[in-house]
Amino acid sequence: MAETIVEVKDLVVRYGTRTVLNGVNLAVKKGESLAILGKSGCGKSTLLRHMIGLSKPKSGQILIRGKDISEMDEDEKIEVLKKMGMLFQSAALFNSMTIGDNVALPLREHTELEESTIKIMTNMKLDMVGLSGFDGFRPSEISGGMKKRAGLARALAMDPEILFCDEPSAGLDPVVAAGIDKLILSLKKAFKMTIVAVTHEMASVKIIADRIAMMHEGKILAIGSMEELRGMGHPVIEQFFNREPDDEEIDRQRYLMA
């Protein structure tokens, strides 16, 4: 059995009186690609934010190699975060900086490498994602797909053990989206990374996921391969996989449009 590298235990998150995550339990195995799947508003992005230590839970634990990230002091947390990469949904590039400077930022912030070495490593990462020669461009000068690739290069700057992705192919046309998904998969194999990807895109799941954690109303409904989840015959899973409309959502939209 592969070792558990990230474990979520009884995680509860509330915003005011609203419970967003209600007792989530999840184990991520070293070297796997896990997709956290579910419709908008089910809590999957909130779960991801807590897994990377951006938010502190109401109760429960997020264990990275057995240590609770929410209970770490700042220095210990920084050391753990150095071994993680994060690809944000919007790529989250700094518009005032070049693509090269965006990718180099983690190296400049968290290492004492010479600038010449940082330049070499930055160009290597850009080359890996197909952006060789674009280091001098600014985010406003490149396409949406290229921004995603640049965000991926920055996420890989520190050679992370775990890569977290928030909707890696959202907002892209199908051809570009498939290219991003396949790139993530090939880089995972090259770097021997563990990947946790939040998505609602079934096409992405089919490409990148070894296992799927299906979320519904703040809980993990089921975990397994796509074949295993389909075999459960659960109505919520079937509705999602078959792209069947949600009657309650349709009624809500009709009310808003009235």
Spatial contact of 195 and 165, defined as CB atoms under 8 Å apart? yes
Separation between Cα atoms, residue 168 and residue 31, nearest integer Å: 19
Please provide the CATH number assigned to the domain covering 1-72+196-258.
3.40.50.300
Per the prediction, the chain carries an average pLDDT of 88
Q: Which helix (H) or strand (E) holds 199?
A: strand 194-199
* Nearest residue to 119 (alpha-carbon basis) of 98, 138, 139: 98
- Please tell me the pTM assigned to this model: 0.87
Burial class (CB in 10 A: 0-12, 13-18, 19+), 215: buried
First vs last Cα of the chain: how many Å apart? 55
- pLDDT attached to residue 249: 53
Query: Residue 257 — very low, low, confident or very high, per pLDDT cuts 50/70/90?
Result: low
Percent of the chain with pLDDT over 90: 55
Residue 256: pLDDT above 80?
no
DSSP 173: -
Q: Each residue of 121-159: pLDDT tens digit? A: 999 999 999 999 999 999 999 998 999 999 999 999 999
- pLDDT attached to residue 57: 87
Residue ranges covered by each domain of the chain: 1-72+196-258
